Amino acid sequence: MLCVLLLTAIVLLWIMLNNMTVERDQLQNCLTNLTTERDQLHTSYISLTKERDQQQTRLLVVTKENDQCKSNYTIVMRQLQDHAEKAMQQGWKLFQATLYYISTEKKSWSESREDCKKRGADLLIINSREEQDFVNKLSQESWIGLTDQHTEGVWKWVDGSALTTNFWRAKEPNGQEIENCVITGYQSEPINNWVDISCNKHFVSVCERHIVSVC
């Protein structure tokens, strides 16, 4: 009877020991997993901290550049305003950051362009209906910077750009080879009043000079 009891006790102890071993292994695995997760979180924290510091450094640089740009912008705008005011005192007109000068002396197209260049400008390039309307209110029958002198029928502006927006009068250009330059404001038509005409004829002209800002 005693032997049976001892044997039973030994079996129970073995079972308990085996269970404890299993639990120990499970706890060890759990500890290993937790340690791995902790290390991963620590690595992620270090990476995020580094990225945060880099972002803060970039923010400081961008803020400094933005402040410098604002300062430069203020200075440049003040200079441009002074420049525009002085130009307007000399007879120039301001419209949408562009200065316009209407000559008082009638000259040929080439002579008019040379006169514009001496003023640091060039003959007018018209890019919009608003600009066309503004110029027509300044003067009538004036040279603009449009010509087909190089290739008959291929109209280009004085900066070499192709004609895209136009305000030709009805039946213009009429295709005559001796009419290679253009005036605007012909016969006081409100908008569509461009006429091709001989470059040797004499008209007043419209000079154009852009005001360019930075930042």
Would you state the pLDDT for residue 179?
Answer: 92
The answer to whether residue 17 is domain-embedded is no
Token pair in block for residue 134: 């503004």
Token pair in block for residue 165: 């927006």
Bridge partners (DSSP) listed for residue 203: 107
How many domains are contained in the chain? 1
The sign of the CA dihedral 169, 170, 173, 179 is negative
- Residue whose C-alpha is closest to residue 140's, from 190, 89, 208, 71: 190
**Cα 121 from Cα 114, distance rounded (Å):** 9
119-156 pLDDT tens trace: 999 999 999 999 999 998 888 899 999 999 999 889 99
The total number of residues written for the chain in this structure = 215
Would you state the pLDDT for residue 82?
Answer: 74
48-91 pLDDT tens trace: 888 888 888 888 888 888 888 888 777 766 766 777 788 778 88
The one-letter code for the residue type at 146 is: L
More confident residue, 24 or 127: 127
**Cα 17 from Cα 23, distance rounded (Å):** 10
* Model confidence band, residue 44 (pLDDT cutoffs 50, 70, 90): confident
Query: Helices (DSSP H) in the chain: which residue ranges?
Result: 2-89, 109-118, 129-138
The answer to whether residue 120 is domain-embedded is yes
Would you state the pLDDT for residue 62?
Answer: 84
Query: CATH number of the domain that 109 lies in?
Result: 3.10.100.10
The answer to whether residue 70 is domain-embedded is no
The answer to whether residue 85 is domain-embedded is no
The answer to whether residue 144 is domain-embedded is yes
**Cα 95 from Cα 134, distance rounded (Å):** 8
The answer to whether residue 32 is domain-embedded is no
Whole-prediction pTM: 0.64
Strand 122-123 and strand 156-157: the pairing is unpaired
- Residue whose C-alpha is closest to residue 204's, from 124, 127, 108: 108
Query: Helices (DSSP H) in 90-121: which residue ranges?
Result: 109-118
Residue 199: give the domain boundaries.
Answer: 90-210
The answer to whether residue 59 is domain-embedded is no
* Model confidence band, residue 2 (pLDDT cutoffs 50, 70, 90): low
The answer to whether residue 26 is domain-embedded is no
Would you state the pLDDT for residue 76?
Answer: 67
